[in-house]
Structure 1
């Protein structure tokens, strides 16, 4: 009817024209709406009946594909998922519900939607969660839009993108009949520009390398499709299983590439730019992770490196890219391997730690005597707080508390983001995920979200804003930090360690009678291997020996940052105005149990649903601190909530924000969960790892930690190591929130368990 003038006229006369089932092509729907047809899209399911439609004010609203949710959230809700998508969930009480798949009686549909950018409660269908590809890293993406975009070529009948339980994706190119005699090279030359453009627009982990494009001959039997016209993916993957295996096999057994030692830097530069789909300048000393090399790119790069080193299949460490971190160091590594030299990294990381403190902890300004005898101006205006890390768990809770403090006038959140809208969306997402109130909009809003770059000398801010913050800010709270335990110390220099220095420089930019307060969020890992005090605890003071930090790059970077803060306190007008807060393991909200779906402990607990068992970690203490308690303690350390001087006037202050109790143990927690009639076995850690390895799907976020757990528990429980205790004497004096921390109880851990079962997938 759409192609017939008379048919269009008939449709235009109708009050409403609905479509459902198989998707109506967007261009056809757009033409109908443009010609005055009141077109709506309808959405439902066999389990729950009719759910949504795009019924709207047809005169002013032309978005016929966006479904409107006029139902209360208690009946029909959209739960946030990765990549700005949300899953439709039907709550108990919906009038037609033939099936439930959650313990609370709700039904998670596995249908993913994208929100409209301006229309509230308007959602565009995106894909099925269960049709997404899940890489071995746990990263997911929907291949269908990419397949459709590539298959437009007249050279192709169809495209199958693969990658389930693999490190990176590839694509089978099914030739059209008329292109059956076109050579593979000609076909790839025709298709690659399209793929290259899509790579630039796609998520990093969805990028497809040229080497992973696999041309196939014309297929007399087309790919199997469902009644809705979508590919039956499992059937297609099974049909072409051998071709997929060969694609990865070719990558795993690369031929030796003939590149001279002198040409290695240029070769590696081109390789990395191709893998990351970037053309920005890449020097030999650029930090690869700042440039955009993620975990998937590391795997692809490692695969290519094997072709540069003869007979090296089993000799390249899995973490070779992370360990080197720059083109110069990768080049040195390859050359040493080629010439049979030792592969030991000659760099002493502990010496590097000391060198970094010297480089970033030197200031010309010195502390003057009047900085020791100052008091806050009683007529000063309210607090102006600069906060980093508001998109993380602790930072989101700190932001939520700051908004509720009467004497805080303005909060500037410095956030990574291409523009203000993207940055604000990231903060709102972090708040919503934790059931915290969204930001208030409008010119009088207390919170101002600013896109920033902490590695930039001026923090990526305009001169006007930088000067304003330097003059008016009363407190800087620095929480943002890269949490990646695979990275070496060197990879924390550019964005993290440099960021500490730049934020302290902001605090020192203007000379004023009352310098602002600077609070740095450190970690107990920064001194985990340090000497104990006379009470047998790790002390509430700086430890000058770099060996005090645990050997992870993350821990060492935290130690370096602490020392930089100490140098600033000793040598500048910030003397006595700096506090370092070392936090331990944080956990879910003390009431709701809301935690972080990407943390290891929730992921471990979630495996009970996958393999019906959990590991018995014996007397491992469950000494987690609820994140809302930690946020309150953190604010008390800053003095923002009272305007008081939390830091001791003569020195830097060190606080330990953690749960000091050694009970309950992990075994006791599992027994409590068993009392709730939860159906899982308690097995040895080794058996638990084995069952995870046998689980035949990567379609669960916990699977990306399998390698870590295998290293920790795969060879048996090993010897239980008693963790050191941390002194909290000074902390309790200055931070009321930590004076009466109780051991975690059964009710709280039950709320954690409930949240994990509903949210960690």
Structure 2
């Protein structure tokens, strides 16, 4: 996951084209990367135990996924795909595990075995030497693909060469397996790939729905449902490519749509450039918090990782859909109460529409007030909140009951704020106009 760009002149709207042109382009890319699949041919190669190929292990959720995988007795080996050298990845993992209060020593115990591979997702052979690629192809039983650029400013074109093409190349890897059945490819998608869904849905039996439209745990063939920025569109395109490979070439795949995440439920670590922390940091910097916000369905990142791992090993159907979303929402009063409890300056609430106007007119330094970079996203999301969809979770919660543990409440939000303040010298920076 990447940081938001530090610019004092953020765009006022997402980098997108007209709707019909965008939908045509999305369909074109789906078709481009769904052609000439070579169907899987069952072979006789036998692998003992699970051999998991994981991408994105140095990401916020990826590190917790790796921690979960290392604790399973049924996994013999984990291949870690990364664009950087082993030395850089090891150092990043050490820092991530320390920040999340995870036991780094678990990575050095020798079982499951770890193999670090430097890859180039833009290449069909992943940039690997032939013998290394063949070993990966022959022995992988499960693929968990979580590596993705999280940048709301990036256009769709930035995602095609490496991310969308990379999904196709992982499909080819799976379909060429010499095993009796291809490895299951689990793709960590996002609610942004379907958040504009307005079709029919079945209301789940748990949680507080507030009459929301529910995104069903199924594939949806409609490009208009994707968030109209490169991040959401690229995930939607990749979902459709995987669906086409499953239906046309025998791929076994699981798509996991991930909703709004918060930080760790344990020690309060939360990446400072994720949306929830940006709202908190911005509010505490300017002395004003947004009032009357729509509810958030935050899931702690370690709980999300646990669910992703469980869902990735379910093998009931060739094509499976799950979601990571909290059935129990976090209400705005919980957020404001936590902010008020830790503020180092007088605070006041302001209706979120006025709060956004204040950010736009303030000419603040985005390094201190990062919310100025996301005003257009906040306005888009919060304006349409009454019409926006939540994700269904009936099947997902059956596999991972921890998803229904309850809402992220003010005590946990306070934990996030305390962690962040400790990292910044126990005092939140106050904003000054440029």
TM-score clears 0.5 = yes
Give 1:743 shift: 1.7
Any conservation in 2 of the 1:656–1:727 contact (CA below 8 Å)? Answer: yes
2:206: which partner in 1? Answer: none
Question: What is the aligned counterpart of 1:569 among 246, 250, 254?
Answer: 246
2:54 paired with 1:354: no
Give 1:582 shift: 0.3
Whole-angstrom distance in 2 between the partners of 1:603 and 1:527: 23
Question: What is the aligned counterpart of 1:665 among 331, 346, 356?
Answer: 331
2:225 paired with 1:548: yes
Whole-angstrom distance in 1 between the partners of 2:217 and 2:79: 30
SS in 1 for 2:159: helix
Any conservation in 2 of the 1:365–1:571 contact (CA below 8 Å)? Answer: no
Question: What is the aligned counterpart of 1:452 among 97, 119, 125?
Answer: 119
User: What is the RMSD of the two structures over their aligned residues, measured on CA atoms?
Assistant: 3.4
Alignment of 1:382-421 (within 5 A): 382-417=49-84, 419-421=85-87
Whole-angstrom distance in 1 between the partners of 2:376 and 2:32: 38
Question: What is the aligned counterpart of 1:743 among 402, 407, 411?
Answer: 407
Whole-angstrom distance in 2 between the partners of 1:734 and 1:363: 34
Whole-angstrom distance in 2 between the partners of 1:526 and 1:686: 26
SS in 1 for 2:181: coil
Cα–Cα, structure 1 residues 647 and 547, in superposed 2: closer, same or farther, change >3 Å? farther
Give 1:707 shift: 3.9
Give 1:441 shift: 5.0
1:180-226: CA deviation from partner (whole Å, max 9, x where unpaired): xxxxxxxxxxxxxxxxxxxxxxxxxxxxxxxxxxxxxxxxxxxxxxx
Give 1:513 shift: 1.1
Cα–Cα, structure 1 residues 725 and 603, in superposed 2: closer, same or farther, change >3 Å? closer
Whole-angstrom distance in 2 between the partners of 1:426 and 1:411: 17
2:277 paired with 1:602: yes
Alignment of 1:421-436 (within 5 A): 421-436=87-102
Any conservation in 2 of the 1:592–1:751 contact (CA below 8 Å)? Answer: yes
Give 1:718 shift: 5.7
SS in 2 for 1:582: strand
Q: Which protein is bigger by CA-based radius of gyration?
A: 1
Give 1:392 shift: 1.0
2:164 paired with 1:497: yes
Whole-angstrom distance in 2 between the partners of 1:346 and 1:654: 26
Give 1:623 shift: 1.3
Give 1:658 shift: 0.8
Whole-angstrom distance in 2 between the partners of 1:399 and 1:413: 9
Alignment of 1:603-682 (within 5 A): 603-616=278-291, 618-639=292-313, 646-649=314-317, 651-662=318-329, 664-674=330-340, 679-682=346-349
SS in 2 for 1:409: strand
1:329-386: CA deviation from partner (whole Å, max 9, x where unpaired): xxxxxxxxxxxxxxx8798221122122222113443367x89xx9x97xx5222111
Whole-angstrom distance in 1 between the partners of 2:356 and 2:224: 32
Whole-angstrom distance in 2 between the partners of 1:583 and 1:347: 26
Whole-angstrom distance in 2 between the partners of 1:509 and 1:391: 27
Whole-angstrom distance in 2 between the partners of 1:666 and 1:496: 35
Any conservation in 1 of the 2:334–2:410 contact (CA below 8 Å)? Answer: no
Alignment of 1:139-538 (within 5 A): 348-366=21-39, 380-417=47-84, 419-438=85-104, 440=107, 446-535=113-202, 536-538=213-215
1:504-523: CA deviation from partner (whole Å, max 9, x where unpaired): 11112232213211100111
Any conservation in 2 of the 1:605–1:756 contact (CA below 8 Å)? Answer: no
> Which protein, 1 or 2, shows the higher relative CO under an 8 Å CA cutoff with sep ≥ 6?
2
SS in 2 for 1:520: strand
Question: What is the aligned counterpart of 2:253 among 570, 574, 578?
Answer: 578
Cα–Cα, structure 1 residues 455 and 420, in superposed 2: closer, same or farther, change >3 Å? same
Any conservation in 2 of the 1:362–1:567 contact (CA below 8 Å)? Answer: no
Ranges in structure 2 where 5+ consecutive residues have no aligned partner: 203-212, 430-434
Give 1:414 shift: 0.8
Cα–Cα, structure 1 residues 713 and 428, in superposed 2: closer, same or farther, change >3 Å? same
Any conservation in 2 of the 1:363–1:571 contact (CA below 8 Å)? Answer: no
Whole-angstrom distance in 1 between the partners of 2:423 and 2:367: 11
Any conservation in 2 of the 1:365–1:573 contact (CA below 8 Å)? Answer: no
Whole-angstrom distance in 2 between the partners of 1:711 and 1:695: 18
SS in 1 for 2:135: helix
Give 1:590 shift: 0.9
Any conservation in 2 of the 1:363–1:572 contact (CA below 8 Å)? Answer: no
Cα–Cα, structure 1 residues 413 and 529, in superposed 2: closer, same or farther, change >3 Å? same
Ranges in structure 1 where 5+ consecutive residues have no aligned partner: 1-81, 84-135, 139-164, 168-294, 296-316, 324-343, 640-645
Any conservation in 1 of the 2:282–2:370 contact (CA below 8 Å)? Answer: no
Cα–Cα, structure 1 residues 538 and 441, in superposed 2: closer, same or farther, change >3 Å? closer
Whole-angstrom distance in 2 between the partners of 1:445 and 1:635: 15
Give 1:710 shift: 6.3
Whole-angstrom distance in 1 between the partners of 2:328 and 2:245: 34
Whole-angstrom distance in 1 between the partners of 2:151 and 2:81: 21
Aligned length: 411
SS in 2 for 1:477: strand
